[in-house]
């Protein structure tokens, strides 16, 4: 009985450690994409409330950032890709707030923005829709937040279409 218990604990430890290693590897890959100076940045205005930034090279997309303005702030989606498959997706919501201190007023600022929600998806298998999801904070309006993988597939398709035109 003790041997079975030890084997089960060992397997749980290996699975947990393997998952943490995968997340660290994904973080390192996304940092590598951010620091790649050879990537070309393209900007697209989708409509009055939405902008798309794409980092790509030779018809391969490495990073997509979609920023959407909402009446209380902005929602930002960052998608990191390897081989045109997502490896990490970050969805964040930031709200506007009015500055009251005198230094901000001297500089001419009256409104600033503060992040209040973040969902990070570490994609372990895109085809099988497997991910590790980490959420911090609460969204202001849940109707504006969706971190479903289908939403990001649509953003990727739209980006591929825009960059191939």
Give tens-digit pLDDT for 10-60: 545 444 445 567 888 999 999 999 998 999 999 988 777 789 999 999 888
- pLDDT tens string 91-146: 998 887 665 565 555 655 555 667 788 889 999 888 888 888 888 888 777 766 77
Look up the pTM and report it.
0.78
Give dist(CA 155, CA 163) in Å, integer: 12
Give me the long-range contacts of 137-144 (CB less than 8 A, separation at least 24): 137/93, 139/93, 140/72, 140/73, 140/93, 140/95, 140/116, 141/70, 141/72, 144/70, 144/75, 144/93
- pLDDT tens string 73-89: 888 999 999 988 999 99
How many structural domains compose the chain?
Answer: 1
Tell me if 156 sits within 8 A of 81, measured CB to CB: yes
The confidence score (pLDDT) of residue 14 equals 47
Residue 157's domain spans which residues?
Answer: 2-164
């Amino acid at each position: 009985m003790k041997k079975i218990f030890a084997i089960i604990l060992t397997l749980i430890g290996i699975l947990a450690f393997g998952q943490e290693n995968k997340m660290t590897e994904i973080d390192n890959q996304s940092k590598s994409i951010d620091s790649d100076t050879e990537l070309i940045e393209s900007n697209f205005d989708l409509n009055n409330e939405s902008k798309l930034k794409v980092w790509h090279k030779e018809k391969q997309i490495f990073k997509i950032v979609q920023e959407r303005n909402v009446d209380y702030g902005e929602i930002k989606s960052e998608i990191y890709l390897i081989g045109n498959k997502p490896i990490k997706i970050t969805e964040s919501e930031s709200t506007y707030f009015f500055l009251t201190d005198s230094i901000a007023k001297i500089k001419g600022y009256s409104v600033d923005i503060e992040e209040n929600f973040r969902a990070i998806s570490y994609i372990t298998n895109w085809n099988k829709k497997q991910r590790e999801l980490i959420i911090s904070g609460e969204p202001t309006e849940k109707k504006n937040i969706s971190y479903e993988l289908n939403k990001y597939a649509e953003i990727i398709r739209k980006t591929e279409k825009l960059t191939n035109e």
